[in-house]
Chain A
Amino acid sequence: EVQLLESGGGLVQPGGSLRLSCAASGFTFSTYAMSWVRQAPGKRLEWLSSITESATNTYYEGSVKGRFTIFRDDSKSTLHLQMNSLRPDDTAVYYCATDRDWRLEHWGQGTLVTVSS
């Protein structure tokens, strides 16, 4: 059974940093591209970033480019999102998802990030 478990969310002050992790199991992690998606309260889902197999390529949504970095540790089947220069409008539930064959097939349960002073 595919499982994705996010962690690392919490309360952070504006301008602060946070690193999210997504522990994967039940599939061969290294052969999958992965994505991060967030959902702010009352807002639509927002794709943030993707990383291909072997981390060959990374992609970012415009509002997080230069502030967020996606990376992966295939030896630990873990995906990460390093978030810097956080702003109040980054407050959201953050999900990781498998990204293969142009679809986000499996999702984690999400981790809440709150940016507030």
Chain B
Amino acid sequence: IQMTQSPSSLSSSEGDRVTITCRASQSISTFLNWYQQKPGSAPKLLIYGASYLQTGVPSRFSGSGSGTDFTLTISSLQPEDFAIYHCQQSYTTPYTFGQGTRLEIK
């Protein structure tokens, strides 16, 4: 299953609302996870099952979608949110990831 994210990069300002899209090449129900990765660090789980917030993740992060189209929304960007975001399908092995979306400071 191919996963495609858009955009590949995004420049935004603190306080902005940001949406990142992930599309699967076939239906994956809601078996979709989002991760945040900062330079030199491992990915961190943010959202699982398309819309469930991982424990400890701020409520400004939210996820939605089912089937083939999914979104990750950050309601009000904070300085610590500038990172790379990855989607991943867990519907079937091989699990596959999107190419990542780099969120940069404008």
Could you list which residues of chain A lie within 8 angstroms of chain B, going by C-beta atoms?
35, 44-47, 50, 59-62, 95, 101-105, 107-110
In the complex, how many angstroms separate the beta carbon of B43 from the nearest chain A beta carbon? Answer: 6
Q: Is the CB of A103 within 8 A of B42?
A: no
Could you list which residues of chain B lie within 8 angstroms of chain A, going by C-beta atoms?
31, 33, 35, 41-45, 48-49, 54, 86, 88, 90-91, 93-100
Complex Cα gap A101–B31 (Å): 10
Q: Which of A35, A44, A102, A110 contacts B97 (CB 8 A)?
A: A44
Q: Is the CB of A44 within 8 A of B43?
A: no
Complex Cα gap A108–B44 (Å): 10
Apart from the given pairs A102-B33, A104-B45, A107-B42, 9 other A-B contacts in the complex at a CB distance below 8 Å: A44-B97, A45-B35, A45-B100, A50-B93, A50-B95, A62-B94, A101-B48, A104-B95, A109-B42
Q: Is the CB of B86 within 8 A of A107?
A: no
Complex Cα gap A46–B94 (Å): 9
